[in-house]
Structure 1
């Protein structure tokens, strides 16, 4: 273990019944042999032998009663004094040399650092482009304005983010959420700089047990949960930014692209007709984004076809988009037809 003076980053792995993956996640950190990082593994009440695998490694490990990812990660934060924290999903892994790259970019003004992740299948075979497609930049305020306007910004899955330790206290009040990559992502731009790297520094495993629903057919229950959780996150974010005078500037939940898009997906998943007014509001939101004309056109065309095609085709197209994340015109339309 590094001494307190040398410690700069803690990697926290919260594991729940991921015995087949957690060994690789742990080794991806230990093999980098950094004396300024520590690894903490929290077994969140696993019943599949994960704890036995975790104990094979020379790491600080704790076994607790099952409480969900967010609470398990908060427990891990309480066990470290590191000024920065990376929450690595137990089914993901960091790339060799990634810790050195991350540490070079961190200073006291950084609230969050982010980087893309290469998507793989359950066996580690690459299945698509890195997610998301990020540029290299250091943001000092533009992303906060984007959150106020849209409620979101392009951010990686859990394992592609590093947070300043003091921000992790936000998780303690997010009792509505079992996930750790919620309000913390969108509050960070209001409390410091966001450093974005364009090089993928880890692997994101897509399989049938992803909490996000990736790798599974379109699921109305998951969509309802996402919409409800997003509304709770926005309410929490509004409370967090009220002391700095930004709460009144935050867009209403039902006017965000995320809410409108997921509501349309839910209508299709439930076999209902897509409300025309909601569709046109969403198209207006997409046209107002700063995405390329090609991407905006592809998405608008996809939505229009999705709204008028038979439900079977629409469901198939949405399952493809949510699974593959393909926004190209050819990919989206090929999925529909």
Structure 2
């Protein structure tokens, strides 16, 4: 009987033909070689199919799947790959991103050393459509930079980190346990377009431990076609933000009331600042009120909290609460 690989690498693609060869090459150059490669295409209209077919007979490639109709959700492709995977761990290597050759070697070693690992995340650098690397700090490690990897209880990580923000910004920089992910085959994250990853990582964290690796081994590409970029431009992701925060509050029994009000105030501020028309803004305010009972009083509290944090070092803020 054929031995299962330790890692399943899933490449979900939609119209990223221009990046596919470089992406797949960065996977095949990994120093850790005990992996299968699963290539998924969500009914691309460019030349993606021709490029993917070139790898049909590569010994690392176990599956190539082409959808006849676009799903409209990247997260449905994630789950399709997860259910096809045979490895103990999964790496969703987004089709437009890149990785250093020792990404798998580094993350696999840490996951194997910590038997309860649900998620292992490395640092990322931004690159543009031409592959130019940005100096922008998107990891915000602060004093953690350069230190040994941190291992956190997943429930604490969810409470102190993920409740405030999706610090796991890019799936391409994460190795996670397949067994835990397969349990989410009917999760609400599959119906989302913009914030499903945030909900997915939260649900994963609740099942085990989270490891942070304070090295940049992943390259996160930013370009106009990126779903996250479109979400920011149109403000369409905020409705899903509200849904995710509501879900978190339902599954984090130890949330302090003051912390909840601050989080709701941050959502109110995000709506206030989003570059959309006033009618859409009012719809989002109504949703925020209906789902989280948030008001402009929460916004004012959050603003005062920002000013007073300089006087009271014990005051809760997102940065101070982070593990």
Q: What is the correspondence of 1:212-251 to structure 2 with a 5 Å cutoff?
A: 212-213=228-229, 219=233, 221=234, 223=235, 225-237=236-248, 241=251, 246-247=252-253, 249=255
1:112 and 2:111 correspond: no
- Aligned partners of 1:11 and 1:87 also within 8 Å: yes
Task: Give 1:62 deviation, angstroms.
Answer: 0.9
1:95 — aligned with what?
A: 100
The partner residue of 2:319 within 291, 295, 308 is: 291
The partner residue of 1:205 within 217, 221, 227 is: 221
Deviations 1:271-319 (A, max 9, x none): 789x974643332455422637xxxxxxxxxxxxxxxxxxxxxxxxxxx
1:189 and 2:205 correspond: yes
Q: CA RMSD in A?
A: 3.0
Whole-angstrom CA distance in 2 between matches of 1:207 and 1:290 = 28
- Aligned partners of 1:95 and 1:201 also within 8 Å: yes
Decide whether aligned partners of structure 1 residues 31 and 253 sit closer, same or farther in structure 2, where only a CA change above 3 A counts: farther
Task: Give 1:158 deviation, angstroms.
Answer: 2.2
Give secondary structure in 2 for the equivalent of 1:232.
Answer: helix
Aligned length: 277
Task: Give 1:155 deviation, angstroms.
Answer: 2.3
Give secondary structure in 1 for the equivalent of 2:175.
Answer: strand
Deviations 1:170-204 (A, max 9, x none): 25322431355231112233211110011011111
2:273 — aligned with what?
A: 265
Task: Give 1:33 deviation, angstroms.
Answer: 5.6
1:310 — aligned with what?
A: none
Q: What is the correspondence of 1:297-336 to structure 2 with a 5 Å cutoff?
A: none
- Aligned partners of 2:164 and 2:318 also within 8 Å: no
The partner residue of 2:192 within 177, 180, 183 is: 177
Q: Structure 2: give runs of 5+ residues left out of the alignment.
A: 283-294, 310-315
- Aligned partners of 1:42 and 1:61 also within 8 Å: yes
Task: Give 1:127 deviation, angstroms.
Answer: 1.9
- Aligned partners of 1:146 and 1:153 also within 8 Å: no
Task: Give 1:232 deviation, angstroms.
Answer: 2.2
Higher relative contact order at CA 8 Å, sep ≥6: structure 1 or structure 2? 2
Q: Structure 1: give runs of 5+ residues left out of the alignment.
A: 293-337
1:166 — aligned with what?
A: 179
- Give the alignment's TM-score, normalised by structure 1: 0.72
Deviations 1:225-249 (A, max 9, x none): 211111222344456x3xxxx4574
1:144 and 2:164 correspond: no
- Aligned partners of 2:266 and 2:299 also within 8 Å: no
- Aligned partners of 2:31 and 2:102 also within 8 Å: no
Whole-angstrom CA distance in 2 between matches of 1:253 and 1:188 = 25
Decide whether aligned partners of structure 1 residues 88 and 281 sit closer, same or farther in structure 2, where only a CA change above 3 A counts: farther
Whole-angstrom CA distance in 2 between matches of 1:249 and 1:279 = 18
Decide whether aligned partners of structure 1 residues 269 and 278 sit closer, same or farther in structure 2, where only a CA change above 3 A counts: farther
Task: Give 1:147 deviation, angstroms.
Answer: 5.2
Give secondary structure in 2 for the equivalent of 1:115.
Answer: strand
Decide whether aligned partners of structure 1 residues 102 and 258 sit closer, same or farther in structure 2, where only a CA change above 3 A counts: farther
1:157 — aligned with what?
A: 170
Whole-angstrom CA distance in 1 between matches of 2:204 and 2:64 = 28
Decide whether aligned partners of structure 1 residues 285 and 50 sit closer, same or farther in structure 2, where only a CA change above 3 A counts: farther
- Aligned partners of 2:11 and 2:38 also within 8 Å: yes
- Aligned partners of 2:126 and 2:219 also within 8 Å: yes
1:280 and 2:300 correspond: yes
2:48 — aligned with what?
A: 50
- Give the alignment's TM-score, normalised by structure 2: 0.75
Whole-angstrom CA distance in 2 between matches of 1:84 and 1:96 = 17
1:69 and 2:60 correspond: no
Task: Give 1:86 deviation, angstroms.
Answer: 1.6
Whole-angstrom CA distance in 2 between matches of 1:160 and 1:91 = 13
